[in-house]
Each structure stands twice: as structure tokens, then as C-alpha cells.
Chain A
Amino acid sequence: GAGVSQSPSNKVTEKGKDVELRCDPISGHTALYWYRQSLGQGLEFLIYFQGNSAPDKSGLPSDRFSAERTGGSVSTLTIQRTQQEDSAVYLCASSLVGLSTDTQYFGPGTRLTVL
């Protein structure tokens, strides 16, 4: 079956521009996570969705970062006024119901480069 998909796979933008990153989770998965992978910070959690609600936004690094999920499916991560330190690979994952024991299935990521 189809796994988690993300688009675009690569995004190059200029400092100060806004970007939107998309995640399509596995069909039927109610839990969705965004992580960021960068050389300096490793793999870090950004935000967790259960359905369309985000009970944990504790990993968002600043108010320039926001995310939404609609229809309990697709999620969009938006970064406003991008900075060079935002350059990273943004990974999306989904799991069946969001239990601690659930396997999180990861997408291939979006590589963001801010010039």
C-alpha cells in the first residue's frame, strides 16, 4: 500500500520568503507528526496532530512556524519569513492511533534550502 508521501522533495527559497510543505499520511492513520533533521540539531520533534487537532506544538521553534491538518488527512507545515537556520530536512510521520507503542511511518522528507 501507499506510504507517507511528502511534497516537494526539494525546495530552495530566498531568505524572507514563505514556504509550505505538504504531507500525505497513510490512509486511516489518525496521528501525524512533523520532525526536522538538521546537521546541528539532529532529529527533533516539531508538532503532533491527532485528527485535525494539535495537542502538542511544543517543538515549533518560533512563531514563524505553523501547521494545520484538514479532513484528518493532509497536513501542511508553513514557515514564514524563512531564515537560513531553517534549512533542514523536514520529515513527516504517521501512526495508526498515536499510542506510545505505535510504529511511526516516515515519509521521504522535504529538503529545504534557504539562501
Chain B
Amino acid sequence: AQSVTQLGSHVSVSEGALVLLRCNYSSSVPPYLFWYVQYPNQGLQLLLKYTTGATLVKGINGFEAEFKKSETSFHLTKPSAHMSDAAEYFCAVSDDYGGATNKLIFGTGTLLAVQP
């Protein structure tokens, strides 16, 4: 079964500092990986996804993530944090590759706080 681990349930950065949110996956087949963001009392919004091709994926709001097969990682980064980035971030893997369902398996989430 596929799974996702997010290290650090809470991360705090200063405005303008680098944001690094960690995600490691476990998969027996090439994974399809996603990062979603959830603002308070809202649903999830896709930031970016990796399917095939270029391993450095750029998303919305200045975020990017790099797929590293050797490290089974898909860490999310942003060079300079903004106050509006404060939210909860979820890494997910698409389960049942080529099968009858393509549900998302989510990590436990990382709550990002941005300090002024």
C-alpha cells in the first residue's frame, strides 16, 4: 500500500524566510504526488502535482517541489514566505496506480505559521 509521511506537524517561519515542508512517500510503483493547501474553514486547493517528466514542479503562489526518487521525497519549498501563506499543507499520493480507483492518500498535514 502506498503511504505518505510529513515530518513536522507545525512549522514556523519569519516573513521573507525560506519555506521547506517535508514529504516522503512509500510506493512500490512510480508515484503520482500532490501538494494541497487548506486555508481555515475552506476546502483543499491544489498547489502542484508530479506525474511524469521534469522532476522540479512549479505551482501556484511561488511554490515548487522536487521529486527525488532516490530519497523517496517530494518536499515543498518557497524562497520567501508571505503572511498569506499561513495555512495547512497536505502531501498526497494517488493510490491504486492503473487500478479501479484513484483515491488520494494524504499525509497528516503541516500547519505553517508565518511570523511578521
**Chain A: residues with CB nearer than 8 A to chain B?**
4, 31, 33, 35, 42-45, 48, 55-56, 58-59, 91, 93, 95, 98-109
A102 and B103 within 8 A (CB): no
Cα–Cα distance between A93 and B105 once the two chains are bound (Å)? 13
Chain A proximity of B8: nearest CB distance (Å): 15
B103 and A48 within 8 A (CB): yes
Neighbour of A103 across the interface among B49, B98, B105, B108, CB < 8 A: B49
Residue B102 lies at the interface, judged by CB distance under 8 Å to chain A: yes
Binds A, one of B17-25, B39-47, B66-74, B76-84: B39-47
Residue B111 lies at the interface, judged by CB distance under 8 Å to chain A: no
**Contact A108-B90, Cβ < 8 Å, known A45-B104, A100-B32:** no
* A residues in contact with B107, CB < 8 Å: 42
B43 and A107 within 8 A (CB): yes
Chain A proximity of B25: nearest CB distance (Å): 14
| Listed A/B pairs (14) with beta-carbon separation below 8 Å | A33-B103, A33-B104, A35-B104, A44-B106, A98-B101, A99-B102, A100-B32, A100-B51, A100-B98, A101-B94, A103-B46, A107-B43, A108-B41, A108-B42
Cα–Cα distance between A106 and B47 once the two chains are bound (Å)? 13
Cα–Cα distance between A100 and B51 once the two chains are bound (Å)? 9
Cα–Cα distance between A21 and B102 once the two chains are bound (Å)? 22
Query: Which residues of B (12-35) have their CB < 8 Å from a CB of A?
Result: 32, 34
6 additional A-B residue pairs with CB within 8 Å, beyond A43-B106, A98-B102, A101-B51: A4-B43, A33-B104, A45-B103, A48-B103, A106-B43, A108-B43
